[in-house]
Structure formats: C-alpha cells, structure tokens
Amino acid sequence: MNNLFQISIGLLLVVFTYGTCNAQTIIIKQTVPEQLEDDDEDFGPNRKFFNHTYGGLAFGVDGVSMDGEVFSPIKHINSFSFYSGTRYYRNFSKIFAGVADYELSYDQSRLKLGDGDSTQLPVSRLDLAKAKYWFVKMGGALSLQINFKRKRGNQLGTYITIGGYGNWLMFKRFSAKYENDLSSYTNITRVNLGKLKYMERFEYGPEVKFGKTNFAFFAKYRLSDYFKSKEGVWDFNELPRLNVGIQFFPGNI
C-alpha cells in the first residue's frame, strides 16, 4: 500500500513536470476571416436577422375604454409594470420587418380606496388602508414593423410596429393592509390572497410601438378581462386596460 502511494506520487510528479516543461502561454491569437462581413453576414439591425434584449417601464392609464366601461380606480404612480425580454427581428425589406418578443413582467395596480368607491374587493373594507393586485406574467408579442426612417449603417432607425400580445399570468395575487388595534401585538395586519379563482389565466390585446435606436414608446390595450363574473357572487370592476410606457435597449443598436 505504501509502495502504491509512492508510485502514484512519482507518476503525478512526472506528469506535472512534463506538463510544465511543455507549457507555452498564448497571449494573443487571432484567426483572420476571409472577408470581414463573414462575422455577421446576416445579423444586424439593418440586415436580415437581429435580436436584442430590452427592459421597460409602463404605467396604467385610467379612463380609456372602448364602451364606457367603469374601472377600479387606481393610484397612478403606484400602478406600474416592469418588463424584461428579448426581441427578434426578421427584415423582409428595407421598410417591413416581422418582430417577435418574449418577455417576463411584473405588474401591479394599487387601488384607490375612496369613500364613494363601491368596487368589489375579495376582502373586507373595514379599516382597509391599502390594497393592490400584482401579477407576474410571461408572454410574447408578434408585430409588423414599418421602418419609415431607416438609418445608414448597421443601426435601427425610426420605426413603428403594430401587432398583438398575449401573456400567461404565472402569479396572481391580491395584497391588503389593515390598520387597526385588534391585536395587542401590532396595529398593522397584512393579507395576501393567491390562486384567485375569479381571475382569468391569460390576457391579450393589441400593441403599438414607436421606436428610435435605443428606445421605444409603446402602448398596450388589454382586450381580455382579468376578472370572471358569476352573477350575484363575483362582480369585480376591471382594472384599467391601457398601459403606456417606454422600453430601453442596451448596447450599440
């Protein structure tokens, strides 16, 4: 056993020494392509294919409805969405391109709890201080892009896209905060409700974007309802359907 150990150590030393003796350190190595465009023949903002990541921020806009619908009132600054995703382009011509997005988003709508507001809530209104719906969504969008002011070189120019989006609501939550002195330990009580039975799993609607190089303004209108209705049981007012915001694209685009 002792011999075996010594032989193993000896072998390791031989291997290590051989490796060290033969070691050469390459500091720089470059292989030159036959043509420079080989690197990105089809890829780039003004080539056939392109993709980039993006992040965005949007806010819900109250009072915009197709048929005079009444919405749950929301607090505007506290009702927002964060987006993060990847956008893929397929340029068909100098003017038209197909665009596909997939994205993850966090969306919250903080409700405005006024005296005159009669919106149905899934919790008691007594001593209710704050209430919000929040969702984590995963989804995508398909659009047609019109490049009406194309840039020279390999850069996105100015464009407008028109299309539709769809999201799966991975997490649907309702959070409420009560301020009362019912407990001898605290005067704040929080309630979190999950797996909300009265909510739909999917949403969809049209979307438009106006973009220029590293950013785009966008507007989404949700055609589908968030809330299911059940006569005499569930009669929730919808959350605002319109979202407007801005997306940023990092890097040299």
Partner 1 sequence: MKFIFSTILILFGLTLFAQDKFWVFLSDKDGVEFDPMTYFDAKAIERRLKHDLPLVEESDKPLRTDYFNAVNILSDTVSGHSRWFNAMAVVVSSEAQLQAIQSLPFVVDVVPMVSQSYLAEELVGGLKNGEKSVLKGQINWMQGEKFKAANITGKGVRICIIDAGFPGVDVAEEFAHIRKRKGIIATWDFHKNNSQVYKFNSHGSTVLSCIAGITSNGENVGMATGAEFLLARTERMLKEGLSEEEDWLMAVEWADKNGADIINSSLGYTTSLYFKENMDGKTALITRAGNMAAHKGILVVNASGNEGDGYWKYVGAPADADSVLTVGGINPWTGIHTSFSSYGPTADMRMKPNVAAYGHVIAYGFRTGLHETQGTSFASPLVAGFAACVLQKDSSLKVMDLFKKLESSSNLYPYYDYAHGFGVPQASNILEEVEKAPKTVELKIIWDSLFVDILPEYYEMNDQVVINYHSKFIGKKSPDNMHMVDSFISDDSNTKQEQPNYLFYKVSTKDGLIKEYSVIASQKMNVLKKVIKNNNNYIFTVWYKGYTTSIVIEKEKQAKKEGGNE
In the bound state with partner 1, the residue whose beta carbon lies nearer, of 39 and 231, is 39
- Closest contact distance (angstroms) between CB of 46 and partner 1 is 8
- Closest contact distance (angstroms) between CB of 79 and partner 1 is 16
**Interface residue list for partner 1 (CB under 8 A):** 19-32, 35-37, 39-40, 44, 46, 61, 64, 66, 148-149, 151-155, 158, 160, 208, 210, 217, 219, 221, 242, 244, 251-252
- Closest contact distance (angstroms) between CB of 68 and partner 1 is 12
* Spatial separation of the C-alpha atoms in residues 212 and 209, rounded to whole Å: 10
Q: In terms of Cα–Cα distance, which of 226, 125, 227, 135 is closest to 177?
A: 125
In the bound state with partner 1, the residue whose beta carbon lies nearer, of 71 and 178, is 71
In the bound state with partner 1, the residue whose beta carbon lies nearer, of 179 and 250, is 250
- Phi, then psi, of 53 in degrees rounded to 5: -85, 165
* Spatial separation of the C-alpha atoms in residues 227 and 206, rounded to whole Å: 19
Q: DSSP labels for 146-213?
A: EEEEPPSSSS--EEEEEEEEEEEEEEEEEEEEEE---SSS-SEEEEEE-S-TTB-SEEEEEEEEEEET
In the bound state with partner 1, the residue whose beta carbon lies nearer, of 160 and 193, is 160
- Closest contact distance (angstroms) between CB of 155 and partner 1 is 6
For residue 73, give both structure tokens: 């009132």
In the bound state with partner 1, the residue whose beta carbon lies nearer, of 54 and 221, is 221
- Closest contact distance (angstroms) between CB of 167 and partner 1 is 19
Q: In terms of Cα–Cα distance, which of 88, 111, 112 is closest to 98?
A: 88
